[in-house]
Amino acid sequence: MAEQPSDAFIFFGATGDLAFKQIFPALRGLIRDEGMDVPIIGVAKAGWSLEQFRERAKDSLDHHGGADPDTLRKLLGMLRYVDGDYADPATFVRLRQELGATQRPLHYLAIPPNLFATVVERLAASGCAANGRVVVEKPFGHDLASALELNVILHRCFPEEAIFRIDHYLGKEPVQNILYTRFSNPIFEPIWNRTYVRSIQITMAESIGVRDRGRFYDGAGAVRDVVQNHLLQVLAVLTMDPPTGEHSEAVRDEKVRLLKAVRPIAAGDIVRGQYAGYRSVPGVSPDSTTETFVAARLYIDTWRWADVPVYLRAGKKMPLTATEVWVEFGRPPRETFGEGVRSNSGHMRMRISPDIEIALGLRVKQPGERMVGKDVELILTRRGAADLPPYQRLLGDALHGISQLFAREDFVEAQWRVVAPILGDVAPLHSYEAHTWGPQEAARLMGPDGVWLNPAPPAQAQAHDIANVP
């Protein structure tokens, strides 16, 4: 089945926000760039007609870059619509009728996680799951126990190779670039270990609050929303061993091996925060203890990374929106020129969003007779506008049965094991003001000689003392 493309695309939650912002634009790209030509069937309970559904698709594209006339005509002609309740078997009878003679449907569940089991079981009972594939949106479970339970349900209806657990971060070009840069340039491998790396920091900052996601977010929090999935995905790509062999599972095997070696995060190794004003957001409990900020310290128990602290940080209402990785190299065993050099002078910095940068921090001599230096960065910068959008990449892969950029069952279970000790109110909740870098208590995780390295706005890059590489 993996060698045969799907011959129909069905997406549940077709009238929702994710469909409007991501799925319709991704389908436009697949039709325009890859010649996608299969029935596209939206399923939702909105009381809509097919014509209203087509208008929703047109409105989505108008808000997200538009579409040339030929692509728009093809997309609208491929659209079908089934309106009905997911708990009603009649909805799936109509879906089976719309599928007609198709043999290998791809079902995409762009719906709340509490509906996954219902939809999957109805797909199986109606015959819609036969020879099909299923794409499941995050969060995959609410904790380890619920993830295991969901896997049992999925495996009753689909084999593991037909299950695609989507995390759009794996479809981002800069995340793929970390993997490529590491393993296509032999200069990094000799120093990518505990002997030369002093610490690692991964920051995911968002300037926005929870907006209209108050009800969902208050039941999730920062750990479940981004740490358990996005940040641990980036950590795995950054620290995994080189994949061995040419088989299709080689990369995913190494990611799982790495994550299984990550020590579960202790409650004493996190700081939780909540921005001022969060409790007044619609849908949020007035006495909520949900974190909108979390900083964590963890360790990887392998020979390569033993005793190297890894710091993760994620938060809402930060000063800017950016995701950035810092790999801080150790200083020489002796400062030959007797200078007091800051510990993060030598580093590799990788910005994942919104712009894309790879920077190498070095120390160079200042002009003059004295042997005195200064810190500079060699920077490769580019904008990500031309990159393949993550959802287009991922849905295209799922349609062709290519699973490398999707999370395997054992990887998801390892993710939940890492964060299990820090779910819920296991540590005090500290308030912080909007558009700051979180509560001051987060500094204690760094120890006496460490400091959080905050992403800078892109416009400030030219204000630094930087050597630019074209």
Residues involved in catalysis: 230
Contacts of 33-37 with CB under 8 Å at 24 or more apart are 33/392, 34/396, 36/9, 36/396, 36/399, 37/74, 37/78
Using the structure block, give the residue that is written with the tokens 């712009």. 355
Q: Taking a C-beta distance cutoff of 8 angstroms, is the pair 400, 35 a contact?
A: no
The separation between the first and the last C-alpha atoms of the chain, rounded to the nearest angstrom, is 44
Give the Cβ contact number of residue 21 at 10 Å.
14
Using the structure block, give the residue that is written with the tokens 């060699």. 378
Using the structure block, give the residue that is written with the tokens 């108008």. 62
In sequence order, the 6+-apart residues with CB closer than 8 A to the CB of 461 are: 357, 379, 381
How many angstroms separate the CA atoms of 269 and 297, rounded? 5
Which conformational region is residue 221 in: left (phi greater than 0), alpha (psi within -120 to 50 degrees), or beta? left
Q: Biggest alpha carbon distance in the chain?
A: 84
**Residue 180 identity:** Y
Backbone φ, ψ for residue 117 (5° rounding):
-60, -45
DSSP 7-61: SEEEEESTTSHHIIIIIHHHHHHHHHHH---S-EEEEESS---HHHHHHHHHHHH
Which conformational region is residue 340 in: left (phi greater than 0), alpha (psi within -120 to 50 degrees), or beta? beta
Q: Taking a C-beta distance cutoff of 8 angstroms, is the pair 39, 76 a contact?
A: no
